[in-house]
Structures are given as C-alpha cells and as structure tokens.
Amino acid sequence: MSSSTHRLDALRGGAAPVDHSARTVAALAGNPGCDRRAVLDAAGISKRNTAVHLGHPAPFGQSPFALARARSFEELVKADRWAHLRRLLRETLGLPISGISCVDIGAGGDATREPRHARTREELRRALEEGERADGERAGGGEAALVERPLLRLPVAGHEVYLEPAVVVVRAGGRFHIVEIKSFAVIDGAADPAQVAAASRLSAVYVYALKAMFAAEGVDPGLVSHEVVLVCPKDFANHPTATLLDVRLQLAALRRQLSRLTRVDRILDRLPADLTFSLEQSTDELARAVRTVEARYAPECLSTCEMAYFCRSDARAAGSLDVLGRVTRDDLGGLGSVDAVLDLASGEHGAPAGHAEIAEQLRHVHSIYREHAAAVVA
C-alpha cells in the first residue's frame, strides 16, 4: 500500500470509504482548481456527512420517488432479456441485432472491487474476441454482447478510482457503446436540455474510463464509440425510446480538465501530517481541518458538490469575489475582495496601479446606480 493511500485512509479516520461515481469525477473535473474536493474525493470521504457535521447540509440527491421511478424504468428496459434494448439498438445503431448475450458483473453480491474489475476486463476481452470471430463470418449485427454493471478503473489526479456505471456496455457492429438508462421523459422528441447535458457529462466519464481501460489492456481505444445510447421513457407513457448522444465535446473537456488536476500526493505533501477529517471530532475541529485544504468556490458548486453551503459561507465571510462567479471574478482580475471592489467603485481612494480601467468602469456603473436610486426616492 502506498504512503498516499495510508494518508488518505488516515484522513478518513476509520469511516468506510465512499466510492467515486461518474457524477463525482465529472464534478471534480468541472472544478480542477479545488484541492479540498480533490482530497475529500480521493480519500473516499462522504462530503454529505461532512457537510451535515459542519452544520451546512446541502439538498442533494434524488427524491425517493424519483429513485423508485428510475429503478422501475430500468427494470422495464431489462425485462425479457433486454427485449426493449434489443429493439432500440436495432433502431438507433441500424444493425440487424438478433439477440443479446448478457453477463452481470454485479451479480452474486461480490463487493470487492479488484476481482470485479478483473472480471470486467475479462468479459470485455471475451466480447471483443467473440465479436471479431463473428465479424469474420458476417458483416456486423448478429449477437450483441452486453456487460451489465461493469466496474471500471480510472486514474484521477494520480489516484485510482473505481466507477460502477448503472449502465451496460454493448458490443454491436464492431464497436463498444455505453448505454445510459435515464428516467427523464422525452416528450415530442425533445428532453429537458439540462438533464440531457448532465447525462452527456456522466456518459463521457464512462466512455473516457472505458477507453482508458482498453488502452491499458493494449486494445484500440477507438473501438469505444463516442456515441452513447441514451434510453429514456417516451412521452407520458413508460415506453422506452433511445437516441444516440455524441459526447465528443464532453470527452475533450473532461480530458483537458483531468490533465489540469493537481496530483493528490502533491496536495497531501502540503498538509499537516496529523490532519484528519474524522467525524468523531467536534464541529469546530472538523471545520478547522477542512479549512486547512484550499478550496476554489464557484456558484456552480451549488449544483455539483455537497460541501457547497460550507464553502460558500466561508467565501462570503472572507468577502471573496468567488461568490460572484468565475466570469465576474475574471473581469475584476487582480482585485482581491468585494470590499476592494466597493472601495474602488466609491472613488474615495485613488485607483491602484494597473486598475485604472476597471476603476473607471466601476465608478461609471456606481454612478448609474446612484442616479437610479435617487430617482426612485424622488
């Protein structure tokens, strides 16, 4: 076991580790400058429990009703040996798929990750070899091999994380496709763009992890398609429909962001040796421990990270420009706090060197607000 693994275990303070998910990897990559999230995620610390202990719980996760709906829709897609999926693959991929052979890696309740990951690799290789044999005999189509609940492994910031997609991987027509089953509805051929965007980001993480796994196995990553089969209920009925999602843009963004993540061991080197995020300590002690690790708050954190209310409260207390969003912060480049901005806007003091242009703009906006306020009072 490496020394960073020991350190990360110690940071968790005896609590069971929480696994990464595609959502956490996508969120981490969405804020590559946040050391706090990188360390908490690498250590498998429950950010939800940490935020609750800190007195800043964030309303995250699906409601029990939404979870039950998602489960029942997934069961429907799986029913009769994936009969719906077989039809949908024929329609979306345009292949004469006659049947589906399916292996469930998660069956049997084996909770240990390494054997499950090894079995995933083994089954994917078998699907690849069988597919190559079959392709020699006919052009595409035939049987699709479906690997259910595979366990993928991906290095993130120098730390191995396991991803357990609630999706399946299919080999059809010579390519591997991620299948993402979502319970949001497609009405009149269109779905909620925010939900589709979120599904694209999550699917891109799976595609990325699968390509990385193929590359590590010496298999051409190009066999993994950037087209994800998105299965959703159609209109107001529960009838499954599918569409192909092209996740090339999301893959490129993910690749860029993951490469910008600081390696976790470098962050750990800067932290006190006895640091722990154990929930056994008092709220104040935990808050001090968490603040030891630098955060990079942005309003987007509110929809992607369970620590958002805690980090936002700290950022507000410090008068940080981060609470105004990245665009505003960058526009005010070089000014360190909300107080500094207000000071400059008031015009009571001269503009520091290099800020003359920003000062002029701020004072102009400030004068408009003053005139408007005076007009309202009059």
User: Interface with ligand SF4 by CB under 6 A: which residues?
Assistant: 31, 34, 36-37, 295-297, 301, 305, 307-308, 311
Q: CA 302 to CA 60: how far, in whole Å?
A: 9
Q: CA torsion, points 117, 121, 123, 128, in degrees to nearest 10?
A: 160
The SS3 assignment for 242 reads: strand
Which residue, 46 or 120, has its beta carbon nearer to ligand SF4? 46
Find the helix or strand (DSSP H, E) in which 199 lies: helix 193-216
Q: Shortest distance, CB of residue 316 to ligand SF4, whole angstroms?
A: 13
- DSSP one-letter code for 313: H
Closest CB to ligand SF4 among residues 232, 307:
307
Cβ at position 16, least distance to ligand SF4 in Å: 20
Least distance CB 22 / ligand SF4 (angstroms): 16
The rounded distance, in Å, linking the Cα atoms of 68 and 6 is: 38
Measured from the CB of residue 36, what is the shortest distance to ligand SF4 in angstroms?
Answer: 4
Which of 83/302 has CB closer to ligand SF4? Answer: 302
Taking the least distance from each CB to ligand SF4, the nearer of 31 and 120 is: 31
Q: How far is the CB of 73 from ligand SF4 (least distance, A)?
A: 30
The smaller minimum CB distance to ligand SF4, of residues 301 and 321, is found at 301
Q: Which is nearer to ligand SF4, 82 or 277 (CB)?
A: 277
Q: How many angstroms separate the most distant Cα atoms in the chain?
A: 86
Closest-CA residue to 201 (of 303, 68, 87): 303
CB of 330 to ligand SF4, least distance (A): 17
Handedness of CA 303, 316, 29, 105 (dihedral sign): negative
Query: How many Å apart are CA 29 and CA 38, to the nearest integer?
Result: 9
Give me 95's structure tokens.
Answer: 């292949």
